[in-house]
Amino acid sequence: MRVWVTGAAGFVGRHVLADLARAGHEVYGFDVAPAPAGAPVAGWTVGDLTEAEAVAAGVGQARPAGCIHLGGIAFVPAGWETPRRVFDINAGGTIQVLEAVRRAAPGARLLMVSSAEIYGRVDRPAPLDEETAPAPENPYAISKLAAELTTLVYARRYDQPFLTVRPDNHFGPGQAPAFVAPAFARQLAAIAAGHQAPILRVGNLDDERDFLDVRDVARAYRLLLEQAPPGQPYNLSSGRRIAIRTLLDQFCRLAGVTPRIEVDPDRWRSRTRSPAISAERARRATGWAPEIPLETTLAEVYAEAVAAVSSGV
C-alpha cells in the first residue's frame, strides 16, 4: 500500500515510517521539517498542516491508498501556553488533511491519531471503552477530540474509510527531553557522569499512567490502517498503570544513583490517576498486543540519555 504520513519527522513519525517500510509499504512523508537522514521514504513534502496548498501538494505527490495523520502538537502543556496555535494545528490541520485526502485520494483509508487524554479524569473500576463519553480537561485534549469528531463526521458525510485511534502514553528512543521519561533519564545520566549535582527536579510522582513503547504503538497504527473497520475510534493501552515514582525508581537503578528529589512547579500536573482504558476493540480487529517489556524501553531510553550527555547534546 502507498501510505502518506503526516508529522513524519517527529518522534512517533520516524518509528511509523520504519514500521511501514519493514511491512513492505511504499511510504511518503509530510512535515514542517525535511526528511530525516536515511528515512525509508519514496517521497517527502515539506509543509505546514494549516496551509491548504501545502497539504494538497503532499497528497498530490503521494496519491496514497492509506494515510496516517500524526501531525500536530503532542505536548499537553502547550494547550495552556498557546491554545490558539494548538487548535489551529491539531483541529484545523486535521480539516486540511481530510479535505485534501477526500478530494485527491478518494477511497484512501485514513487513520487520525487522537489521544486517550480526551477521557479526562474519569476513573471507574472497569477500563473505559470507546463508548465512554469523553470528558477532556485541557485545551490539548479538546483540540484532539475536535479533530477526532471531525474525522468521523467526514467518514459518514463523504462515505470515506476514515478511523481514529486514542493511544495512551507512549515513549521510547528519540523522544524529546521535555517528556517525563527522557527528562528523568537525561538528568540521571548527567548526575551519574558528574555533570550535575545529585538533585532531580520532578513533577507529580504519584501520578499513575499507562505506558506503551512507541514501537508497539507504531505497529498498532499500521495494523489498524491495514485491517480495522473504519468509521469508529480505537483505544490503545497496555492495560497496566504504574506510578511515575516507579518509573523514576527504575531509572535510578539503571543510573546507579540516588538523587535528592525536588518538586518543580513547571513540571507539576495535578491529576494523580489517569483512567484505565481498554484496547479490546483494537485487539479484536487486528490481533495487536504490546510486545516490548517496559524494562527494555527504560534501558534504551537511559542508554540514549547517556550517549547524549557524553556527546554534550
Residues 37-52 have pLDDT tens digits of 999 999 999 999 999 9
Query: Is the confidence at residue 272, as pLDDT, over 60?
Result: no
Q: Are residues 244 and 225 in the same domain?
A: no
Question: Count of domains in the chain?
Answer: 2
Q: Are residues 183 and 158 in the same domain?
A: no
CA 78 from chain center: how many Å? 15
Q: Are residues 223 and 300 in the same domain?
A: no
Q: Are residues 197 and 54 in the same domain?
A: no
**Torsion 301-295-126-149 (CA) sign:** positive
Looking at residue 264, its pLDDT comes to 78
51: amino acid identity, one letter: E
Looking at residue 177, its pLDDT comes to 85
Mean pLDDT of 300-313: 89
Percent of the chain with pLDDT over 90: 78
Q: Are residues 298 and 204 in the same domain?
A: yes
Q: Are residues 71 and 162 in the same domain?
A: yes
Q: Are residues 34 and 181 in the same domain?
A: no
Q: Are residues 165 and 176 in the same domain?
A: no
Query: What CATH number does the domain containing 260 carry?
Result: 3.90.25.10
Query: Is the confidence at residue 306, as pLDDT, over 80?
Result: yes
Any domain includes 32 = yes
Any domain includes 221 = yes
Mean pLDDT of 238-251: 91
Query: Is the confidence at residue 268, as pLDDT, over 70?
Result: no
Any domain includes 281 = no
Per residue in 110-121, pLDDT tens? Answer: 999 999 999 987
Between CA 272 and CA 256 the distance in angstroms is 27
Query: Is the confidence at residue 273, as pLDDT, over 70?
Result: no
Closest by CA to 294, choosing from 115, 180, 172, is 172
Q: Are residues 193 and 254 in the same domain?
A: yes
Q: Are residues 132 and 190 in the same domain?
A: no
Provide the pLDDT confidence category of residue 271 given band limits of 50, 70 and 90.
low
Q: Which structural domain, as residue segments, surrounds residue 266?
A: 172-209+240-274+292-311
Any domain includes 115 = yes
Any domain includes 185 = yes
Looking at residue 121, its pLDDT comes to 79
Query: Is the confidence at residue 174, as pLDDT, over 80?
Result: yes
Any domain includes 283 = no
Mean pLDDT of 87-115: 97
Any domain includes 8 = yes
Provide the pLDDT confidence category of residue 270 given band limits of 50, 70 and 90.
low
**Torsion 33-36-40-43 (CA) sign:** positive
Q: Are residues 119 and 188 in the same domain?
A: no
Q: Are residues 36 and 158 in the same domain?
A: yes
Any domain includes 307 = yes
Which of 97-106, 121-130, 161-170 is least confident? Answer: 121-130
CA 265 from chain center: how many Å? 24
Average pLDDT, the chain: 93
Query: What CATH number does the domain containing 226 carry?
Result: 3.40.50.720
Note if the pTM is more than 0.85: yes
Per residue in 280-294, pLDDT tens? Answer: 999 999 999 999 999
Between CA 167 and CA 164 the distance in angstroms is 10
Between 208 and 103, whose confidence is greater? 103
Q: Record the cell numbers describing residue 63, joined without a space.
A: 496519491
Phi first, then psi: what are they for 113, rounded to 5°? -90, 110
Looking at residue 5, its pLDDT comes to 98
